[in-house]
Amino acid sequence: MAKRILLVCLGNICRSPLADGLLLRKIKEQNLDAIVDSAGTANYHIGKAPDARMIRTAAKHGTALDFLRARQFTSKDFQNFDHILVMDQSNKRNVLKLAQTQDDEKKVEFFLDYLYPHQQLEVPDPYYGTSEDFEAVYQLVDQATDALIQKLFHEH
Ligand code: 4NP
């Protein structure tokens, strides 16, 4: 059965669409069976394309993000996804507020725990940052998506 993976950040215009686009690209390249999507806990940017700076940074590395559109995380996402991967502590709190069962809660993990297990590290929000910050986030999320694919598709 396809693994269903949801990436979550605050606005769904920088970090989670990057992870979404990178995973979609790698899953296609590696012919893996997965459903991937992303969402934001906030409603500020619903319907918008990812941040132009994030699109540009990803495009430089051959990863397309321009087709993605922001949406807000909802409690229904607990039924539609097996892995709900958050970018920071605040995302985690907001997602867990909508959990209805312990099974729901168990689906929520830190995205970076796939790269740095059990450390609960956050992907820094580049929104108020420089182009170097966007590049650093790209490198981090690129590594973390490789680690995630290794763990979810090759170690079970
Ligand atoms: P993201 O970044 O959560 O990685 O999409 C942000 C985007 C927008 C805002 C904050 C963070 N904002 O405050 O509008």
DSSP state string for 19-53: HHHHHHHHHHHTT--EEEEEEESSSTTTTPPPPHH
Take residue 124 and report the two structure tokens written for it: 């820094």
Q: Binning pLDDT at 50, 70 and 90, where does residue 62 land?
A: very high
Q: Where are the beta strands (DSSP E) in 33-151?
A: 34-40, 83-86, 108-110
Q: Binning pLDDT at 50, 70 and 90, where does residue 91 land?
A: very high
- Pocket flag, ligand 1, residue 125 (CB < 6 Å): yes
Q: Average pLDDT, stretch 118-144?
A: 98
- Pocket flag, ligand 1, residue 44 (CB < 6 Å): yes
Q: Average pLDDT, stretch 123-150?
A: 98
Q: Is the pLDDT of residue 8 over 80?
A: yes
Q: Residue 1 has what pLDDT?
A: 87
CB of 30 closer than 8 Å to CB of 47: no
Residue 80 three-state SS:
helix
Catalytic residue among 9, 37, 53, 113: 9
Q: Is the pLDDT of residue 156 over 90?
A: no
Helix 15-29 vs helix 131-154: crossing angle, to nearest 10: 50
pLDDT tens per residue, range 44-53: 999 999 999 9
